[in-house]
Amino acid sequence: MLDVLKVRIYPNKEQETSLAKNFGCSRFVWNYYLNKTNSQYEVIGKGMNYCQMAKDLTQLKKLTDYEWLQEPTAAVLQQSLKNLESAFKNFNVFRAKFPKFKSKHSKQSIRYPESCSIKNGGVKLPKLGVVKASISKSINGTVKSATVSKTSTGKYFAAILFEVKDASSNKQGKISGIDLGLSSLVIVFDGETCYKVDPIKPTRKYALRLRRRQKSLSRKVKGSKNRRKAIKAVAKVHEIISNTRQDFLHKLSRKLVDENQIIVAETLCIKGLVHTKLAKSIHDAGFGMLLNFIGYKLEREGGKLVQIDRFFASSKICSCCGYKNNLLNLSIRDWTCLSCQNHHDRDENAAKNLRAEGIRILSANTVGHTEIQACGETVRLVGTCAKKRVSEKQESPARLLAVSEGVSI
Ligand SMILES: [Zn+2]
């Protein structure tokens, strides 16, 4: 299994110059071949693939005008071409936009695909030697590659990719359903209790500081040195906001992963949501990032994140009797079931339904005989088993029946 650790690195003056050259060469190669493949496409209707570009690059390096391209490790420049090829591939299958030219003023990054290692508490990179780093935890495995980046605020980071042994699947914990929302960021139901976690809204917290610095930036003369400084000051606020959000989501996902073996959540349509007027709040909450963190952390430890189709009416179904309340709209925060008279908090009810649906899917879809033991209850994952789940401890038979009926609506 591959794992990544991102650490901050502190290159000395010499290494900084060398890195700047590497960033420059790598960016040049990207832009040069993006231009070249575009013009070739216009003439013969076909772009260049990686092999053609790499061959051409070898010839280009021999020309006296482009001798400086020999300075960085060849593998770094080839990686840049590989990235360009995958950018085109992603564009062709509608996964990404058309590749853009890179600017020297935005974030810079290069990838060393080989010969990287951890040495003397630092990161050893080809032709650069050991770069000082703050490595927070030990890396037990072979280092595959390292991606070095420089943010627009002038900080350097290295994302180290390394191979580790596959996680043992003996992770202990509960099965929880989590509902994501804007008033409470997550609502967690673990089979017995329900609790909510409030969002932190970092954009709102730093809005005034950001507005002041943006205003100051707008008054600076274009191309001036003060403008560069003001751009950096704005970038700094953005960095604080994103760090605050990431830190909070890392801590929250760690807590959820420590407590649970399986987490059931909705699949979010983030792309669709950001076009609504809630866009700012949704971006600020970082739903996508949270699910991503939970997903990889669980996988690393042998757990599982189950995502339920977003058309599953988790809020509308009564979690006690399975009655579907079609009159429910977004403004109603709590409601009483017309069938069983139970009073529901909207979000808690959704988390309960998601958990039940997750258990149903796990029990029904897995082929083979795997047993997952969570919080004392056994969910037998048998594909051919007629019984949807074997889980008597915390669920009453009436509720089992009701949920499977409710879900099929
Ligand atoms: Zn009911």
Sheet containing strand 117-119, strands side by side: 108-112, 142-150, 156-163, 2-10, 129-134, 122-125, 117-119
Whether 3 is a known active-site residue: answer: no
pLDDT of residue 119: 87
pLDDT of residue 240: 94
Q: Examine the pLDDT at 209 and tell me if it is beyond 50.
A: yes
119 pairs with which residues across the strands?
A: 122
Q: How confident is the model at residue 351 (pLDDT cuts 50, 70, 90)?
A: very high
Q: Picking from 172-176, 205-209, 334-338, 362-366, which range would have the lowest pLDDT averaged per residue?
A: 362-366
Query: Torsion-angle region of residue 96: left (phi > 0), alpha (psi -120 to 50) or beta?
Result: beta
pLDDT of residue 27: 95
196 CA distance to ligand 1 middle (Å): 22
320 CA distance to ligand 1 middle (Å): 5
Q: Examine the pLDDT at 164 and tell me if it is beyond 60.
A: yes
Sheet containing strand 304-308, strands side by side: 194-197, 186-189, 174-180, 260-266, 304-308
38-82 pLDDT per residue, tens: 999 999 988 899 999 999 999 999 998 998 999 889 999 999 999
Q: How confident is the model at residue 256 (pLDDT cuts 50, 70, 90)?
A: very high
Q: Examine the pLDDT at 394 and tell me if it is beyond 70.
A: no
Q: How confident is the model at residue 114 (pLDDT cuts 50, 70, 90)?
A: confident
Q: How confident is the model at residue 167 (pLDDT cuts 50, 70, 90)?
A: low
**Which position among 179, 190, 284, 348 bears the catalytic label?**
179
Q: Picking from 9-13, 32-36, 167-171, which range would have the lowest pLDDT averaged per residue?
A: 167-171
Domains of the chain: which residue ranges?
2-163, 174-198+259-407
pLDDT of residue 139: 82
**Which position among 85, 190, 284, 347 bears the catalytic label?**
347
User: What is the value of pTM for the model shown?
Assistant: 0.76
Q: How far apart are the first and last CA of the chain?
A: 40
**High-pLDDT (> 90) share of the chain, %:** 48
The stretch 94-110 carries a mean pLDDT of 89
Count other C-beta atoms under 10 Å from residue 301's C-beta: 17
323 CA distance to ligand 1 middle (Å): 5
409 CA distance to ligand 1 middle (Å): 14
Q: Picking from 3-12, 26-35, 163-172, which range would have the lowest pLDDT averaged per residue?
A: 163-172
**Which position among 266, 284, 348, 377 bears the catalytic label?**
266
Whether 347 is a known active-site residue: answer: yes
pLDDT of residue 396: 34
Whether 309 is a known active-site residue: answer: no
Q: Examine the pLDDT at 371 and tell me if it is beyond 50.
A: no
334 CA distance to ligand 1 middle (Å): 13
The stretch 124-133 carries a mean pLDDT of 92
In angstroms, the CA 48 to CA 359 distance is 49
336 CA distance to ligand 1 middle (Å): 8
pLDDT of residue 366: 54
Q: Examine the pLDDT at 408 and tell me if it is beyond 50.
A: no
325 CA distance to ligand 1 middle (Å): 9
The stretch 88-103 carries a mean pLDDT of 91
The stretch 168-190 carries a mean pLDDT of 85
Count other C-beta atoms under 10 Å from residue 185's C-beta: 21
343 CA distance to ligand 1 middle (Å): 8
Mean pLDDT of the residues in the chain: 84
Q: How confident is the model at residue 184 (pLDDT cuts 50, 70, 90)?
A: confident
pLDDT of residue 168: 65
**High-pLDDT (> 70) share of the chain, %:** 87
- State the residue for tokens 């020999």: 70
